[in-house]
Structure 1
Amino acid sequence: MKLALFDLDGTLLPTDSDHAFGEFMCAIGWTDGQAWRARNQQFFEQYQAGTLVLADYVDFATSAWRHRPLADAEAARERFMQEVISPALRFEAIELVRAHQRSGDQVAVVTATNEFVTRPIATAFGVETLLAVELERGADGRATGAIRGTPTFREGKVARVQAWLHSQGQSFADFDDVLFYSDSTNDLPLLEAVPTPVATNPTPALRQIALERGWRVIDLFDAT
């Protein structure tokens, strides 16, 4: 049996769900409009450049919805799934995941986007195991704006995957192979930690690294 690990944004999705959720918050009037949108874009550019301070971004991103009743936030998330994410799902990405599942492989999504945004997306891909940024929550169930535990970001992805496997009495050595599919150089720590890294819809920087190191490169979305 193999272990197949998937990044989400840019890898299984031809968009960034974290950034897109922020845009959706603007679209439904839950933010102060252009100023918030510009700041959201700045954070996205920092992520792409590898300079993002994740705690700052999580505090900012959740500020659009965390002070509202949880039921309202969940309803907005459902609209986001229907209006933004569902139309973005691609057969090629779904089939890649399902091919591993049909082969009896263990599958997990490992994403730097928070669990509030990504839980229904993982479900849409038919993946039960989601390792995402976990949000600290107050007694009322609302997010506080802080991160709980180790975030699934850069080296944190390695730590969280290892901790998850350890909780099941497993390690990489228990699998015939361990693959990690990702589009981003932010994921180099986990790409370098697994036996089979797969650069998937890679950024130019990751594509160059993959070519230099002889890693497999796949493009799921072509020009879409």
Structure 2
Amino acid sequence: MSLRPKVTLFDLDHTLLPIDSDHSWGEFTQQIGWTDPVEFKRRNDTFYAHYIAGTLDVHDYVRFAVEAIRVRDQAQYEEAHARFMREWILPALREPATALVRQHQQAGDTVAIVTATNEFVTRPIAQAFGVAELIAVELERGADGWITGEIAGVPSMRGGKVVRTQQWLAARGWDWLDVETTFYSDSTNDLPLLEQVDHPVATNPDPRLRTLALERGWRILDLFPKT
């Protein structure tokens, strides 16, 4: 039996949620009139297709995705995000996912969500899961204290998830060998972190990850059908 502290990491979109919160936020901004319903949808769908294919330029995407927030103030954003949570996110929470998070928390694991979606969209979602530790794309702030549209530091995407998780561990006085790590993810975009941890779990995996998990003997967990 391992005496190392247990750290359990969760991807968010299509892993704990049956939807992509980043793409859904974009659709929501169309719904409330913050973005052009035709041009924004075209670009949003194109960026999402690049993400699925593993070819997304995260810096270009974040500039695009947060523009509707950047040109508004924090009060407007918070009001809109509260509505987004009520209408889009809370109806998408599934008991198998929330129960899995609780199971690890009740076992005494240190639990974190590690996502390529930005902190503004995902922090309230992490809170809805009862998870305080969030490793997400952090947004640069200008002299006025509001976001600029650029990313601060290393984006938590693909290999960046390993870097950011390493930084998060170091802030707690840990290295990889000090802890027993588990990571749940649906996507081959997360292959670098899946290969880094002690226990990779292909969760609602995309076809490429399912094939790879079968080849490598990784655990496969289907919490809910992919949509």
Query: Matched residues in 1 for 2:95 and 2:81: separation?
Result: 22
Between stretches 117-126 and 65-74, larger displacement belongs to: 65-74
- Secondary structure (helix, strand or coil) at the match of 1:178 reads strand
Structure 2 match to 1:63: 67
Structure 2 match to 1:24: 28
Matches within 5 A, 1:27-66: 27-66=31-70
Structure 1 match to 2:168: 164
Return the offset for 1:143. 1.3
Structure 2 match to 1:190: 193
Query: Matched residues in 1 for 2:113 and 2:134: separation?
Result: 5
Query: Matched residues in 1 for 2:209 and 2:215: separation?
Result: 10
Determine which of 84, 90, 94 is the counterpart of 1:90: 94
- Which amino acid in the other structure matches residue 21 of structure 1? W
Query: Matched residues in 2 for 1:149 and 1:223: separation?
Result: 31
Contact 2:14 2:226 in 1 (8 A): no
Contact 1:183 1:199 in 2 (8 A): yes
1:104 aligns with 2:108: yes
Query: Matched residues in 2 for 1:98 and 1:38: separation?
Result: 38
Contact 2:18 2:226 in 1 (8 A): no
Between stretches 100-109 and 66-75, larger displacement belongs to: 66-75
Q: Percent identity?
A: 61
TM-score of the pair, normalised by structure 1: 0.97
Between stretches 30-39 and 183-192, larger displacement belongs to: 30-39
Per-residue Cα deviation, 1:138-171 (whole angstroms, up to 9, x for no partner): 2333211100001100110000101111111112
- Secondary structure (helix, strand or coil) at the match of 1:152 reads coil
Superposed CA RMSD: 1.0
Contact 1:122 1:128 in 2 (8 A): yes
Return the offset for 1:223. 6.2
Please list every run of 5 or more consecutive structure 1 residues that lacks an aligned counterpart in the other structure.
none
Cα gap change, 1:174/1:15 in structure 2, threshold over 3 Å: closer, same or farther? Answer: same
Structure 2 match to 1:139: 143
1:181 aligns with 2:194: no
- Secondary structure (helix, strand or coil) at the match of 1:65 reads helix
Cα gap change, 1:164/1:102 in structure 2, threshold over 3 Å: closer, same or farther? Answer: same
- Secondary structure (helix, strand or coil) at the match of 1:113 reads strand
1:213 aligns with 2:216: yes
- Which amino acid in the other structure matches residue 79 of structure 2? A
- Secondary structure (helix, strand or coil) at the match of 1:52 reads coil
- Which amino acid in the other structure matches residue 158 of structure 1? V
Runs of 4+ aligned residues of structure 1 deviating over 3 Å after TM superposition are none
- Which amino acid in the other structure matches residue 132 of structure 2? E
Please list every run of 5 or more consecutive structure 2 residues that lacks an aligned counterpart in the other structure.
none
Query: Matched residues in 1 for 2:25 and 2:144: separation?
Result: 23
Per-residue Cα deviation, 1:57-98 (whole angstroms, up to 9, x for no partner): 000001122111111011111110111000000000000000
Per-residue Cα deviation, 1:112-133 (whole angstroms, up to 9, x for no partner): 0000000000000000000000
- Which amino acid in the other structure matches residue 11 of structure 2? D
Contact 2:18 2:225 in 1 (8 A): no
Return the offset for 1:172. 2.3
Contact 1:5 1:180 in 2 (8 A): yes
